[in-house]
Structure formats: structure tokens, C-alpha cells
Amino acid sequence: MQNASNFKLVFTLLGALVLLFLIAPLAGLILHSSATELSETLRDSEVNQSIALTLWTSMLATGLFALLAVPLAYLLARYSFWGKQLVLGIIDLPVVIPHSAAGIALLTVISRQGMLGKAGGLVGLEFPGTRAGIVMAMAFVSLPFLINAARDAFEAVPERLEKAALNLGASPVKVFFSISLPLAWRGIVSGLIMMFARGMSEFGAVVIVAYHPMITPVMIFERFGAFGLSYARPVAIVFIAVCLVFFIALRILSNTRRRAEG
């Protein structure tokens, strides 16, 4: 009994150190900023526009690319094919490589001389230095979170249910939308939330593709470089607070639906 108590105490202390490591920088931000600085930042139209731009571009990146990512996740969960491990490695690549390098790689494709850049130019769509470029950069670095979460969710769906529906005459499309997707939705929603959150926080890829219009992570960097810590800190606090509010709200909505269905 004593050994179990000591084991729990050691693990509690180790966990407390991790929590302290996570909380201390955030607490330091707040303690070193005055109410006047925060109030002025909240009234700064440039900051408000930047936060709004960051939120809706991240939402747009998540919504648009979810239409492509979820079907891919289902294929990876249900089918084996030659080169599957290579595909899984490619999906995880944006998480592994430096995000500045990811931005340069993406810029090569979406510039006016790149494949996507030329295709966009045919319909009057440009990516570098535009909101469309921000969406592309956010999606590029955050897609692995959605694809992997959705793949795990589909793998957890009993395959025998899908086969039973197919044997009863249901089409693959009907099976997907009536069985697979409803049973996997919790994992998919978690992936959507993580993709949205990751897109909001992206800096390295976005700053290469589109320094302007300025999303908030880029603004924080720009103000820190131009004016110092005291000017960047209030913007960082406001943006972190907004991120927390959205993240918690999305989690609450997800858990509320889960309880309603449970």
C-alpha cells in the first residue's frame, strides 16, 4: 500500500512540474502586462482585423480541405494498397519538416510560375500575398491532424457493420453516410478542432507565403521585431485568450452533442 502511495506521489509531482512548465510562460505574459496596455490593444483596429482574418482563414482552410481529407482518411482506414506506407509518410511530412521550409516548398507550387499558381491565374486567383495563400499555408501544415484523427476514427468503426449493410443491398455511398461517418464523427470533430487550432497558430509557412495581409502570429512577430517585447506582449495575450475561448467553445459543443446522443 505504501509503495502505491509513493508511486502516486512521484507521478503527481512529475505531472505538477509539466503543468508548471506550461502555465508559467502564460502567467508571466499576464503579470507583466498592465490593464491599460490590454485595453489599448483591444481597441486597436489593426489587431482586431488581424484576429478576425486569422480566425476565418483557419476556418475556411479547415472546412474546404475537410471535404478532401475525410474521404482520404476513410480509404486509408479501410483499404490496403501498394505504397500505403509512403502515403502515410507523406501525410505526416508537414509536421516533421521546419515550417519555414514548408512555406518555401508551398510557395514553389502556388507562385505564378508554379503548377497551382498557373491554374489559379486562369481564373484570376493569386496565392502569394493574398488571403487565399494564407488558407493554403494553414491547410498545408494542419491537414495531418485531421487526416490522422479521422483515419483512427474510421478504423474504430466495426467493419462487420459495413459489410452487413452491403450484403443487405446498401450502396457504398449509403453505407459511408449512414454507418461509417456517424460512428466516426467524434474522432473527425476532434481532428477538425485540432486542424483549426493548428491553422490559427501557424507562423512559419504563412510568413513565407503571405506576410501581408497580416495574421496575428505574424503581427506578434512584426511588433516584437520592430518595437520590442512590451508592444508584442499585449497582442499575444489577447490572441491567446481568443484562441482559448474558441477552442473551449468548440470542445463544449462537441461534448454537448456527445452527451445528447449518449
Per-residue pLDDT at 252: 79
**pLDDT tens by residue, 116-140:** 888 888 888 899 999 999 999 999 9
Its CATH class, for the domain covering 38-261, is: mainly alpha
Kindly write down the DSSP assignment for every residue of 40-67, as one continuous string: HHHT-HHHHHHHHHHHHHHHHHHHHHHH
Question: How do residues 217-259 score in pLDDT, each as one tens digit?
Answer: 999 999 999 989 888 999 999 999 998 888 888 777 767 666 6
- Average pLDDT over every residue of 105-124: 88
- The per-residue pLDDT for range 149-199, each reduced to its tens digit, is 999 999 999 999 999 998 988 899 999 999 999 999 989 998 999 999 999
Q: Concatenate the DSSP letters of all residues of 203-255 into one string.
A: -HHHHHH-SSS--HHHHHHHHHHHH-HHHHHHHHHHHHHHHHHHHHHHHHHHH
pLDDT at 6: 80
| Whole-number percent of the chain with pLDDT over 70 | 95
